[in-house]
């Protein structure tokens, strides 16, 4: 056993180059739109050009005469095929209004892009061409576009089957909120607009569905983050027995929440394939997706902080108007509710009141977009704390430090009632300040203010935390979430000593194959190269809760670890048997089992795997298998945190904002693969900065999406973004044995307020105390003009 | 229908196509060259970038008939076949650098990004960070925040020049 002379290579905590890359850099990728099947037909949808209308007639007869057309259906034609509407799985209140959402509208369209008919043809151009021949009679109805107007008496209705535009009001009050405000020495109050965003995963959504052939199985491929959830929900929506439906997420080109849903086109393709007995494909164009794929954010936030004389926070009031859009998609109403636990952020206070009104409008539905409720909350509190610091005349860091939870106070139960298990805000802040050169930049800022430099320097702070790793099923249940938060993994030891890991998570860029291989390699003491990870096919990974909410590593990685531990425990039993030793005397290290005190008596996990496969000699009281499953359900969320600092140059003559420095110090607990973690932070920062500076989905007064393509919706390029300086502190999570917290959304959550705080800070001395997002040259210039006209110094 | 003939990744193809057919759809649907992706319908995202007669083009802005008689290079023709089974040995330096610098996450923009970067490096073999950022502004990535893409391009540039490069900011 010369291998024993070499210590095992540790994988966890070390950058391993991704196993995922080879096919992606060479163009051998397997996106859903790449799939082709014998006899494949192509689907195109007829979508409403009106935000709100009665549909009095739909006539597909002329479309059926067009070249290549195989079938065409109206909403009425397919109405009997639905066992139910598209699901909303998060009824946040018992009386929440959730109108029936059929995949194809029958009598009323409620947003531009709502589908009314479908054409199936031999080629995609033929299908698209034929949609021009579908005749739809629309009787226009007033469009509801403004949330507050929607709640006023006499407002038109976004959905005429309801008697209100309010879906729900959700409230949570902790502590004596009136006392907190009545006795306050100072109150800071603001209204912030968290604008509507379009997620824009670079791969458009796509669906392929193949009807049963030699078995009863229908297979649906989709560019989805959630193959397991999709399987169950499509079974319910389309009345297909769940065990006869296989869902596959092949290569998926980003999601950011937009592919965490159950979409009309998935249900339509499933029904069409079964109805026609032919495989079908639908792929959205980008402009179509901008109407038909969920949007994110879109909140009006009225927030107040009450302070004591000593600048400690007494309490916080939050009232939200959250735009649901026209329908409740999978978790639409729950997104703003996640913020209920996050507005207090890292700060101690005695009272918190949170009220959220979910409002229907005639717009594309909103749902989870990277961060999902936590970016909105973090933006509000981190902006508000800066405004309060200005009003109180204290340094923004000083006010934060005065109020944040001290590292020695963890675990800490917040006013919102959840327990932050670990954290060290002091350490992350000290590190960020040092890297950033905070004091020097403040000195430069003072000098440039003094000299009246037309380009002013601003410094923005964001000391954020978030809750992620959607896990504790009991807690999710108490919030009326429609599912649990567990995750599943299976580990199979093959006779040759190689390892298959099957995970219930469904990666679409996050590198799970690499990171899960690292975890399994160390847990089993095998080589990184000897592990393969399989996912994303319900026939292979039969059980899972999929990928969203920065949960995959925290819950799915944990499941891999536990399944591996079970394999080792079984192998240890066999090792004891084969080495003729007591099980308690067997030691396991680096893939080798040895007898305590007799290091020459040893065997490897690979040898045991082969021995168990042969099954000639194994303990009486066990099955001849090392394979193990684990389903884990952590008892708490995880709470990444960090301190982000942004320096902006703001041109007071043109309104142009340039980021000069961006320093992100994140505490995501233990790190499995530093390169992947940095990459997740980079991408998150880009999206959070994009909200601050570039992106906004705009509707006109008639409910038309005027930012309906990438020409008008500004997704930043490399030229628009700075280099990011990232570093870490490491306070392990206690809710899982890996000590990991999740990293997918932290950058997005933290960065938006850091940037806007920096822009406002650059202009504060010119009388600017607010900055609408995005801080475009126009918005900045207008804020400066308003400040000038207001006579502020 | 119109006849087109073009050389794609070293192979000559002749087909009858509709005049409205875009080059990207010709590549994907007629030739099965699905390594080249479609990410938008307004020529903003650059996912479909290929080379036409040695220069990068967004293949959604070129009609197949416009490419008639042309030489097309796609991501699928970039690597050299490695006969010893070590696939990575045949990779173009850009493919290798995107891998080692983690310049891709989901990978959907990657073929277009690499083809655009290859054209950039043919014009400027030693670009600064800023030159890479501006040189790739026609290609959108939603995953990486571009930091590692910029690093990858400069790392590949160094390898292609036979130099070492400091890919840190400001270098």
How far apart (Å, rounded) are the C-alpha atoms in residues A640 and A789?
43
Residue B140: list chain A partners with CB under 8 A: 202, 710, 715, 717
CB contact under 8 A, B102 and A18: yes
Joined together, the tokens standing for residue B122 give 């043919």
The size of chain B, in residues, is 171
Question: Rounded mean pLDDT of B38-51?
Answer: 98
**To the nearest whole angstrom, how far is the Cα of A199 from the nearest Cα of chain B?**
9
Mutate to test the interface with A, among B48, B79, B108, B151 (most CBs of A within 10 A): B108
> B50 - beta bridge partners?
B57
pLDDT tens digits along A350-383: 999 999 999 999 999 999 999 999 999 999 999 9
Task: Give the count of beta carbons closer than 10 Å to the beta carbon of residue A779.
Answer: 18
User: How far is the CA of A672 from the CAs of A438, A518, A675, in angstroms?
Assistant: 30, 7, 9
Which residues does B96 contact at the CB level (< 8 Å), separation at least 6?
Answer: B88, B156, B159
For the cut 60, the answer to whether the pLDDT of residue B170 exceeds it is no
SS (H, E, C) A282-313: EECCHHHHHHHCCEEEEEEEEEEEEECCCCCE
- What is the predicted pLDDT for the residue at B84? 81
pLDDT at A517 over 60: yes
**Inter-residue contact A25 to B99 (CB < 8 Å):** yes
- What the block records as the tokens of A192 is 């912030």
Distance CA A94, CA A150 (A): 22
Look at chain B and report how many structural domains it folds into.
2
How confident is the model at residue A495, as a pLDDT?
A: 97
- pLDDT average, residue stretch A190-199: 98
Q: What is the band of A792 on the pLDDT scale with cuts at 50, 70, 90?
A: very low
- In whole angstroms, how far apart are CA A477 and each of A90, A167, A485, A634? 10, 20, 9, 14
Task: Give the mean model confidence (pLDDT) for residues B16-22.
Answer: 98
- Shared domain for B93 and B29, answered yes or no, is no
One domain for residues B7 and B73: yes
Asked if omega into A774 is within 30° of 0 (cis), the reply is yes
Q: Which residues of chain B from 50 to 69 reach within 8 Å of chain A, CB to CB?
A: none
The DSSP-derived string for B49-118 is EEEETTEEEETTSSBGGGGTT-EEE-GGGTSPP-TTS-GGGGS-HHHHHHHHTT--SS-SSHHHHHHHHH
Give the one of A202, A509, A685 whose C-beta lies nearest to B140's C-beta: A202
Segment B65-71 mean pLDDT? 98
Q: Is residue B167 part of a domain?
A: no
For chain B, the C-alpha Rg in angstroms (whole number) is 16
- Chain A residue numbers with beta carbons less than 8 Å from the beta carbon of B24 are none
Segment A153-160 mean pLDDT: 97
pLDDT at B166: 60
Residues in chain A: 793
DSSP-derived letter for residue B161 is: H
Tokens for A55? 């549909």
A510 touches chain B (CB under 8 A): yes
Beta bridge partners of A302: A191, A319
Segment 716-755 of chain A within 8 Å of chain B by CB: 717-721, 723-725, 747
Please enumerate in sequence order all residues whose Cβ is within 8 A of that of B61, keeping only pairs 6 or more positions apart, or say none.
B22, B43
**B165, pLDDT greater than 90:** no
Question: What residue of B is the nearest CA neighbor of A725?
Answer: B169
- Check pLDDT > 60 for residue A793: no
Residues B37 and B95 in one domain: no
For the residues A248-263, what does the mean pLDDT come to?
A: 98
Residue B171 lies in a domain: no
Give the model's confidence band at B83: pLDDT under 50 very low, under 70 low, under 90 confident, else very high: confident
Rounded-to-integer distance, Cα A663 and Cα A436, Å: 6
Are the C-beta atoms of A553 and A740 separated by less than 8 Å?
yes
Q: Which of B95, B106, B140 sits opposite A717 (nearest CB)?
A: B140
- Provide the 10 A C-beta neighbour count for residue A215: 9
DSSP state of B28: I
Residue B72 and residue B23 share a domain: yes
Residue B81: predicted pLDDT: 82
Domains assigned to chain A = 2-28+486-632 (3.30.365.10), 39-141+200-292 (3.90.1170.50), 407-466+639-793 (3.30.365.10)
Q: Is the pLDDT of residue A1 over 70?
A: no
In angstroms, rounded to a whole number, what is the distance separating the alpha carbons of residues A509 and A505? 12
In whole angstroms, give the CA distance from residue A429 to residue A643: 5
Q: Does B168 fall in a domain? A: no
Name the residue facing B137 among A200, A509, A718 (closest C-beta).
A718
Cβ-based neighbours of A455, under 8 Å, separated by 6 or more: A448, A649, A650, A651, A652
Interface test with A, best of B79, B85, B88, B106 (most A CBs within 10 A): B106
Cβ of B138 under 8 Å from any chain A Cβ? Answer: yes
Last residue of a domain, one of B77, B101, B129: B77
Domain end call among B12, B45, B77: B77
Residues B60, B105: one domain? no
Element containing residue A756 per DSSP (H, E): helix A746-763
Do residues B51 and B93 both lie within one domain?
A: no
Name residues 32-51 of chain B within 8 A of A (Cβ).
32-42, 44-45, 47
Residue A167, pLDDT > 80, answer yes
Q: What is the CATH number of the domain that holds B135?
A: 1.10.150.120
Q: Which of B28, B78, B144 sits opposite A683 (nearest CB)?
A: B144
Q: What is the CA radius of gyration of chain A?
A: 28
**Residue A371 Cα, gap to closest chain B Cα (Å):** 14
Cα–Cα distance between A416 and A347 in angstroms, integer?
Answer: 11
Q: Domain containing B18: what range?
A: 2-77
Task: Judge: B99–A21 Cβ closer than 8 Å, yes or no.
Answer: yes
B82, part of any domain: no
Q: How many helices (H) and strands (E) does chain A have?
A: 21, 28
CA A192, CA A340: separation in Å to the nearest integer? 16
Q: Is residue B166 part of a domain?
A: no
Would you say residue A300 has pLDDT above 70? yes
Q: Is the minimum CB–CB distance between A610 and chain B shorter than 8 Å?
A: no
- Please check whether residue B107 touches A, CB under 8 A: yes
Considering B77, B103, B130, which residue would you say is the last residue of a domain? Answer: B77
pLDDT of A154 > 70? The answer is yes
CA distance A600 to B102: 43
Cβ atoms of A429 and A667 closer than 8 Å:
no
The pLDDT value recorded for residue A60 is 98
Residues linked to residue A658 through DSSP beta bridges, in sequence order: A649
Which residues is A280 bridged to in the sheet?
Answer: A41, A209
CB distance B143–A683 less than 8 Å? Answer: yes
The mean pLDDT of chain A is 96
Segment A60-70 shows an average pLDDT of 98
DSSP conformational letter for A705: B
Whether B67 and B99 map to the same domain: the answer is: no
Domain with B59 in it: what CATH number? Answer: 3.10.20.30
Among A22, A29, A202, most B C-beta atoms within 10 A, so best to mutate, is A202
pLDDT given for residue A657 in this prediction:
98
What local confidence, expressed as pLDDT, does residue A6 receive?
45
Select the residue of A125, A509, A710 nearest B143 (Cβ to Cβ). Answer: A509
- Residue B143 lies inside a defined structural domain of this protein: yes
CA A85 to chain centre: 24
Of A161, A156, A117, the residue nearest A140 (C-alpha): A156
Query: Residue A524's closest CA among A546, A494, A488, A487?
Result: A494
pLDDT at A4 over 70: no
Selecting from A24, A685, A747 the residue whose C-beta is nearest the C-beta of B107 gives: A24
Secondary structure (DSSP) of A60-76: -HHHHTSTTEEEEEEHH
- B99 and B155, same domain (yes or no): yes
> Do B59 and B93 belong together in one domain?
no
Rounded mean pLDDT, B26-46: 97
Interchain CB contact of A203 with B (< 8 Å): yes
Average confidence (pLDDT) over A426-430: 98
Q: Does B59 lie in the same domain as B17? A: yes
Q: Answer with the residue of higher pLDDT: A482 or B22.
A: B22
Q: At residue A386, does pLDDT exceed 90?
A: yes
Across the interface, whether the CB atoms of B99 and A22 are under 8 A apart is answered yes
Task: Chain B: give the shortest CA distance to residue A200, in Å.
Answer: 7
Closest Cα partner for A11 from A491, A668, A528, A502? A528
The answer to whether the Cβ–Cβ distance between B39 and A286 falls below 8 Å is yes
Average of per-residue pLDDT across A189-194:
98
Judge whether residue A2 has pLDDT over 80: no
The Cα-based distances of A488 to A474, A554, A639 in angstroms read 17, 12, 22
Q: A604 forms bridges with which residues in the sheet? A: A592
Categorize the per-residue pLDDT at A599 as very low, low, confident or very high, splitting at 50, 70 and 90: confident
Tens-place pLDDT, residues A722-758: 999 999 999 999 999 999 999 999 999 999 999 999 9
Q: Which member of B38, B98, B150 has the closest CB to residue A25?
A: B98
Phi, psi of A316 (to 5 degrees): -140, 135
Cβ pair A559, A630 in contact under 8 A: yes
Same domain assignment for residues B100 and B66: no
Residue B149 falls within a domain, yes or no? yes
Q: For residue B21, what are the CA distances in angstroms to A215, B28, B72?
A: 38, 11, 16
- Are B37 and B104 part of one and the same domain? no
Nearest-CA distance A127 → chain B (Å): 15
Residue-wise pLDDT tens digits, A672-705 = 999 999 999 999 999 999 999 999 999 999 999 9
Residue pairs between chains A and B whose CB atoms are closer than 8 Å: 183
Name the residue in chain B with its Cα closest to that of A123: B29
Q: What is the pLDDT of residue A269?
A: 98
Say which residue the tokens 């009095």 belong to: A56
């Amino acid at each position: 056993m010369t291998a024993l002379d070499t210590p095992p290579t540790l994988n966890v905590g070390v950058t391993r180059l991704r196993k995922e890359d080879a096919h992606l850099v060479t163009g051998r990728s397997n996106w859903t739109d790449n799939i082709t099947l014998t006899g494949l037909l192509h689907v195109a949808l007829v979508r409403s050009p009106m935000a709100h209308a009665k549909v009095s007639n739909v006539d597909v007869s002329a479309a059926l005469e067009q070249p290549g057309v195989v079938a065409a259906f109206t909403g009425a034609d397919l109405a009997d095929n639905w066992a139910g509407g598209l699901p909303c799985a998060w009824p946040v209140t018992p009386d929440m209004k959730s109108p029936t959402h059929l995949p194809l509208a029958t009598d009323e369209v409620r947003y531009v892009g709502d589908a009314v008919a479908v054409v199936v043809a031999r080629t995609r151009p033929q299908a698209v061409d034929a949609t021009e021949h579908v005749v739809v009679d629309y009787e226009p109805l007033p469009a509801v576009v403004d949330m507050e107007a929607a709640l006023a008496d006499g407002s038109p209705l976004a959905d005429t089957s309801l008697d209100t535009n309010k879906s729900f009001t959700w409230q949570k009050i902790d502590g004596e909120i009136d006392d907190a405000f009545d006795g306050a020495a100072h109150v800071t109050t603001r209204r912030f607009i968290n604008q509507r965003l379009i997620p824009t995963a670079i791969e458009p959504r796509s669906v392929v569905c193949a009807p049963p052939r030699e078995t009863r199985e229908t297979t649906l491929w989709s560019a989805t983050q959630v193959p397991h959830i999709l399987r169950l929900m499509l079974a319910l929506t389309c009345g297909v027995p769940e065990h006869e439906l296989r869902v596959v997420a092949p290569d998926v080109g980003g999601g950011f929440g937009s592919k965490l849903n159950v979409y009309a086109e998935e249900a339509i393709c499933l029904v069409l394939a079964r109805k026609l007995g032919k495989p079908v494909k639908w792929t959205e164009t980008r402009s179509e997706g901008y109407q038909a794929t969920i949007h994110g954010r879109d909140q009006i936030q009225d927030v107040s902080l009450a302070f004591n004389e000593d600048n400690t926070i007494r309490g916080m009031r939050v009232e939200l108007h959250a735009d649901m859009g026209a329908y409740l998609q999978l978790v639409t109403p729950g997104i703003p509710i996640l913020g209920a636990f996050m507005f207090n952020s890292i700060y101690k206070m005695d009272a918190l009141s949170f009220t959220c009104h979910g409002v229907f409008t005639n717009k594309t539905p909103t749902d989870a977009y990277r961060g999902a409720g936590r970016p909105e909350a973090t933006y509000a509190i981190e902006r508000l704390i800066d405004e309060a610091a200005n009003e109180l005349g204290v340094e923004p860091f000083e006010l934060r430090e005065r109020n944040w939870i001290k590292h020695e106070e963890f675990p800490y139960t917040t006013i919102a009632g959840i327990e932050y298990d670990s954290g060290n805000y002091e350490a992350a802040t000290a590190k960020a300040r040092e890297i950033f050169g905070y004091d020097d930049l403040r000195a430069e800022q003072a000098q440039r203010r003094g000299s009246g430099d037309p380009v002013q320097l601003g410094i923005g702070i964001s000391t954020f935390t978030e809750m992620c790793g959607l896990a504790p099923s009991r807690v999710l249940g108490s919030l009326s979430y429609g599912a649990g938060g567990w995750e599943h993994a299976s580990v199979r030891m093959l006779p040759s000593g190689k390892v298959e890991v099957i995970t219930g998570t469904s990666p679409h860029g996050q590198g799970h194959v690499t990171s899960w291989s690292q975890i399994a390699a160390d847990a089993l003491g095998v080589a990184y190269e000897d592990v393969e990870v399989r996912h994303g096919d319900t026939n292979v990974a039969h059980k899972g809760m999929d990928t969203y909410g920065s949960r995959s590593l925290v819950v799915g990685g944990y499941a891999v670890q536990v399944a591996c531990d079970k394999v080792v425990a079984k192998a240890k039993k066999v090792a004891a048997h084969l080495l003729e030793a007591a099980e308690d005397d067997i030691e396991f290290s680096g893939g080798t089992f040895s007898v305590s005190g007799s290091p020459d008596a040893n065997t490897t996990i690979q040898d045991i795997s082969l021995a168990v496969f042969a099954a000639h000699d194994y303990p009486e009281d066990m099955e001849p298998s090392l394979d193990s499953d684990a389903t884990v359900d952590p008892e708490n969320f995880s709470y990444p945190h960090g301190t982000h600092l942004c320096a902006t140059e703001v041109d007071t003559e043109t309104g142009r904002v340039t980021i000069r420095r961006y320093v992100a110090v994140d505490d995501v607990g233990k790190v499995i693969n530093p390169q992947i973690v940095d990459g997740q932070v980079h991408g998150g920062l880009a999206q959070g900065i994009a909200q601050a500076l570039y992106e906004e989905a705009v509707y006109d007064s008639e409910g038309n999406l005027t930012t309906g393509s990438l020409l008008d919706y500004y997704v930043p390029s490399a030229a628009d973004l700075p280099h990011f300086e990232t570093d870490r502190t490491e306070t392990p999570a206690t809710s899982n044995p890996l000590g990991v917290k999740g990293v997918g959304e932290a950058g997005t959550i933290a960065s938006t307020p850091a940037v806007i705080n920096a822009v406002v800070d650059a202009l504060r001395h010119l009388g600017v105390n607010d900055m609408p997002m995005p801080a475009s040259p126009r918005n900045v210039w207008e804020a400066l003009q308003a400040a000038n006209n207001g006579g502020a110094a | 229908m119109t006849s087109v003939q073009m050389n794609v990744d070293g192979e000559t193809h002749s087909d009858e196509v509709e005049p409205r057919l875009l080059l990207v759809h010709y590549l994907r649907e007629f030739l099965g060259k699905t390594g080249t992706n479609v990410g938008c319908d307004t020529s903003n995202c650059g996912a479909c970038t290929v080379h036409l007669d040695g220069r990068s083009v967004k293949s959604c802005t070129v009609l197949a008939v416009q490419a008639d008689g042309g030489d097309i290079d796609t991501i699928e023709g970039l690597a050299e076949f490695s006969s010893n089974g070590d696939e990575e040995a045949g990779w173009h330096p850009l493919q290798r650098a995107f891998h080692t610098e983690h310049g891709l996450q989901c990978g959907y923009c990657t073929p277009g990004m690499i083809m655009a970067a290859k054209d950039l490096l043919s014009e400027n073999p030693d670009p600064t960070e800023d030159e890479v950022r501006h040189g790739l502004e026609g290609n959108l990535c939603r995953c990486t925040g571009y930091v590692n893409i910029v690093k990858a391009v400069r790392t590949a540039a160094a390898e292609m020049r036979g130099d070492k490069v400091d890919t840190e900011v400001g270098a």
